[in-house]
Amino acid sequence: MYIVVGSATTAERLKRRLEKVSGYPALVVRTPAPIRTGGCSYSVRIDDRTLDLAKQVLSTSGLSYKKIYRVMNRNGERVYNAVP
């Protein structure tokens, strides 16, 4: 799962908060091309099991994000679905 944010600084802050709260590792990565919306874009990659916790952290932390995407494999291709 990818949480798309606008800057590397925001991504690092979000990563630290998610790891502290969830106990699961999170990674800061460049946003994959299919979901990049122009310019520099970074994402925090998290385990699907932490979605609800991630939404809670985002709502209480004041950190802004663009979208959250779940990654699926269909016929050997990676597909990104926006999470409501």
- Give me 29's structure tokens: 């990565």
Tens-place pLDDT, residues 68-84: 999 999 999 999 999 98
| b/e 21-57 (16+ beta carbons within 10 angstroms → b) | ebeeebebeebbeebeeeeebbbbbbeeebeebbeeb
CB 35 within 8 A of CB 67: yes
pTM to 2 decimal places: 0.91
- Percent of the chain at pLDDT > 70 equals 100
Tokens (6 digits) for 32? 């994959």
Domain ranges of the chain: 2-82
Fold of 2-82: Alpha-Beta Plaits (3.30.70)
